[in-house]
Amino acid sequence: MKTYKYPSPKEWTEITERPHLDTARLNKTVNDILTDIKSRGDEAVKEYEEKFDNAKLQHLAVSQEEIDEAVRSTPKELYDAIMLAHGNISRFHASQHIETKKIDTTPGVTCWQKIVPIEKVGLYVPGGTAPLFSTVLMLATPAKIAGCKDIILCSPPGADGKINPAILTAARIAGVSKIYKAGGVQAIGAMAYGTESIPKVYKIFGPGNQYVMAAKQLVSLHDVSIDMPAGPSEVCVIADDSSNAAFVAADLLSQAEHGIDSQVLLITTSEHLAKDVISQIDIQLKALPRHGIAAQALGNSKIVILKSKDEAISLSNLYAPEHLIIATDDYDELAEKVVNAGSVFLGKYACESAGDYASGTNHTLPTHGYATAYSGVNLDSFNRKITFQHLTPEGIRNIGHAVEVMAENEQLSAHKNAMTLRMSEIKH
């Protein structure tokens, strides 16, 4: 990890840079696959599954028998953990229901909103080196609570042609409608365009590697909505002399093990704490099964030593991290100053892992600085808001002339006429 000691604000732009990708070549590769999926449907999906996942598939749909078998084979300890997490996630997201009300903006003019669930949503759940069954809970649970009619899930199978049993178990618990064996770009294309087996959806959710992220952004241009633009996962930890160095190191490593393109950032006001964290990273890294991945991610990562907590918060807000851990005793005071972050973890015991799995908050969050403008996935992500308005003759009298004047000054005479006709009628 590169260390910056008391950098000037001019250096902050460099500090907050993420790893760069060759997006031109990436987009060309992804677009070619998407075009093929759109043209050849199931046949193309199966060919890419054999090519990328070494799975030779007869059928893309997961049968009820396969799901039943997966549930039976899931160890009770894991099943109970999934149930506990699902309960907490359900409670938190159910609390996000909003009651709308009608309001008279002026006498005779009534306006209101109606919250309507998105009918067809597609969930992408990575498999591969880390089968993210927790992501099933994070996406399907709020989709079910929102009332989405069709909840479609795609996840890559192993070479044996089966999806990880924990993913299928979590899907059963969370209320997924249909599950398909498809990973990577081909899964995103199938849900965006629809194939003989996989239905087209209206919005796609879920994390993935750089190819999946590029595919989501490309299909969002014309064919389907997506949850958010995203890049590799990241964490920022703010710490001081009151922080536990071993905990901080563990938090940094838990993020670094996601992938070689992940990034971690430690911001601290203590040189002593920074040295202790580096020592702890060296000790803990050796014990990790994914130490090679974590070590490469640390190469993208930084430690920044600053003079004050105000500077630390300012730098964090500029970075706009996906995950922000405030591991100081005065976390309440600092939390009030956070304006850009996906999800915030307060105090020495609030590790990112809690939010990733079972505290109840959602772990599908904006990365790559998008937290300046995007929220993480929540109940509202699965809803639309339709506005309504009703006007009476009194309403026409109250706003009609203003509408005429505004339409005339925008040189939209048909707009003016639509109101003028109504105003003429109510005069008689």
**Domain residue spans of the chain:** 2-19+232-360, 23-108+117-226, 392-427
Q: Is 258 annotated as a binding residue?
A: yes
Active-site annotation holds for 272: no
Tokens in use for 33? 């696959």
Q: Which residue has the tokens 């060919």?
A: 47
Compute the Cα dihedral for 18, 23, 26, 27 and give only its sign.
Answer: positive
User: How far, in Å, CA of 33 to CA of 45, rounded?
Assistant: 9
SS3 content of the chain, % helix, strand, coil (to 5): 50, 15, 35
CA distances from 284 to 116, 118, 258, 304, 349 (A): 48, 44, 16, 21, 18
Long-range contacts of 60-65 (CB under 8 A, 24+ apart): 60/180, 60/181, 60/182, 60/195, 60/197, 60/198, 61/178, 61/179, 61/180, 61/181, 61/197, 62/163, 62/168, 62/178, 62/179, 62/180, 62/181
Query: Residue 323 catalytic?
Result: yes
Residue 101 DSSP class = -
Asked if residue 233 belongs to a known ligand binding site, the reply is yes
Q: Span 23-108+117-226: which CATH code?
A: 3.40.50.1980
Helix (H) or strand (E) holding 167: helix 165-174
* Nearest-angstrom CA–CA distance, 224 and 218: 9
Spot the catalytic one: 93, 323, 363, 368: 323
> Would you say 217 is a known binding-site residue?
no
Residue type, 106: T
345 CB-contact burial (10 Å; exposed 0-12 / middle 13-18 / buried 19+):
buried
Is 1.20.5.1300 the CATH classification of the domain at 392-427?
A: yes
Q: What does pLDDT average to in each consecutive run of 10 residues of the chain (428 residues)?
A: 95 90 84 98 98 96 97 97 98 96 98 98 87 96 98 96 96 98 97 98 93 94 93 93 98 92 94 97 94 92 97 98 97 98 97 97 95 97 98 98 98 98 91
Active-site annotation holder among 49, 234, 257, 322: 322
What pLDDT is recorded for position 23? 76
Distance between CA atoms of residues 246 and 277, nearest Å: 7
Q: How many CA atoms lie within 13 A of 99 on its CB side?
A: 1
Residue 170 is predicted with a pLDDT of 98
Same fold for the pair 2-19+232-360 and 23-108+117-226: yes
As given in the structure block, the two tokens for residue 195 are 């194939």
Does the annotation place 368 within a ligand binding site?
no
Nearest residue to 212 via CA among 277, 91, 122: 122
255 labeled part of a ligand binding site = yes
Query: Which CATH architecture best describes the domain 2-19+232-360?
Result: 3-Layer(aba) Sandwich (3.40)
Cα 82 to Cα 357: distance, rounded to the nearest angstrom: 9
Establish whether 209 is an annotated binding residue.
Answer: yes
401 is in an annotated binding site: no
pLDDT on residue 129: 66
